[in-house]
Amino acid sequence: MMRLYEMPDSGNCYKVRLILTQLGQDFERIHTDILKKESRTADFLKKNPNGRVPLLEIEENVFLPESNAILWYLAEGSQFVPEDRLGRAQVLQWMFFEQYSHEPYIATSRFWITLLNAEEEYKEEIEKRKAQGYAALDVMESHLSHQEFFVGNRYSIADIALYAYTHVAHEGRFDLTGFPQIKKWLKRIQGQANHIKIDD
Amino acid sequence: MMRLYEMPDSGNCYKVRLILTQLGQDFERIHTDILKKESRTADFLKKNPNGRVPLLEIEENVFLPESNAILWYLAEGSQFVPEDRLGRAQVLQWMFFEQYSHEPYIATSRFWITLLNAEEEYKEEIEKRKAQGYAALDVMESHLSHQEFFVGNRYSIADIALYAYTHVAHEGRFDLTGFPQIKKWLKRIQGQANHIKIDD
């Protein structure tokens, strides 16, 4: 059985649990607390030298890190990845957008505020990230104003990647009031078959 | 003919020119100066709402942003992307590593120092990025100590993605003296058929 090294609160880890569940794939969850530096032990670094979760153990001693690479590995060939060349590249486009232009602002603020409980200490850093976090939400809002999902008008791993931290953006003090298209899209994702919550 | 909106000094843009050249694909270069905010004009934002280069115009009015998604689009089905499922996911793993754990430190420092010529102004930000830039180089050095290329012992778009900013890391004041495996790998990349330089 596949093993998922993960921290339950992490949106990046949640992405992987969500696709595994929607694919009907059994897996074992191995709790790895990054606040206790459990992803930086000598033993963990042998599994992933970059010291991060999620980490998927596909089979004994075959490890794959990076949440969006794991999504691709698991979903390729399924209904959650488009069949056409441009559609596949657009799924990747939105997944790279998520990791470069969205996660470092929205997820990082949530991490400091909600997981570390250190809003005061990181006040300046959180403030600095506001504009770029909202810029990412603006790009999403505009894209969703003319389509229901991110790629090819069909639910895909691009939606899963962007849903993970967008639906908990308020925990990083991002206000979605001015983003009606995003709010409708969040509901659309929650309505997909076999959807699970981040704390399930 | 495909059109590439790009800024010649940008490593992200260079990646795309390199793969296009190695695939023998003709393309038109459209110089887009981000220092003059040419990627933030109303006209450009219609092409890419995220306001960044590189941007590939695949055919009239079909635009694909995100350097690594463009690499995938162009190279899928060629010798530069592995055929096996795990190999493909590992290529993506290293491309996500590049955009999340490497580029924000190594490329950003180079941008401030070499492109903006503002090392003094960004001194504190550059200093903050040192440890994480070197951590990314450590991960690469360790991986290359037991294989010649990043995935499947064969030159792939994962190597192209990581080469783009690693070979100019010194321009961001990263010293590769302690990274002999990376230095050998850089030479190996430079020795590939139809290699071009960043300023070609």
Rounded to the nearest 10 degrees, what angle do helices A103-110 and A123-144 cross at? 130
Q: Tell whether A17 and A113 lie within a shared domain.
A: no
Q: CA-to-CA distance for B49 and B44, rounded, in angstroms?
A: 8
Whole-number Cα distances in Å, B56 to A184, B119, B200: 30, 31, 19
A69, A72, A93 member nearest B66 (Cβ): A93
ipTM value, please give it.
Answer: 0.98
Say yes or no for a CB contact (<8 Å) between B72 and A90.
no
* Boundary residue ending a domain (A37, A57, A75): A75
The reply to whether B126 falls in a domain is yes
DSSP letter string over B53-113? S-EEEEETTEEEE-HHHHHHHHHTTSTTS-SSHHHHHHHHHHHHHIIIIIHHHHHHHHIII
Q: Are A100 and B99 in contact (CB under 8 A)?
A: yes
Say yes or no for a CB contact (<8 Å) between B86 and A73.
yes
- Which residues make Cβ contacts (< 8 Å) with residue A183, sequence separation at least 6? A176
Q: Average pLDDT per run of 10 along chain A, which is 200 residues long?
A: 96 98 98 96 97 97 98 98 98 98 97 96 95 98 97 97 98 97 98 97
Per-residue pLDDT tens over the stretch B66-115: 999 999 999 999 999 999 999 999 999 999 999 999 999 999 999 999 99
* Boundary residue ending a domain (B41, B75, B109): B75
pTM assigned to the model? 0.98
Instruction: State the residue range of the domain holding B153.
Output: 85-190
A66, A90, A104 member nearest B93 (Cβ): A66
In chain B, the percentage of residues whose pLDDT exceeds 70 is 100
Q: Tell whether B20 and B96 lie within a shared domain.
A: no
Q: Say what the pLDDT of residue B119 is.
A: 97
Say yes or no for a CB contact (<8 Å) between B89 and A72.
yes
Say yes or no for a CB contact (<8 Å) between A49 and B101.
no
The reply to whether A80 falls in a domain is no
Q: CA-to-CA distance for A65 and A47, rounded, in angstroms?
A: 9
Q: Tell whether B19 and B54 lie within a shared domain.
A: yes
Chain B residue at shortest CA distance from A73: B89
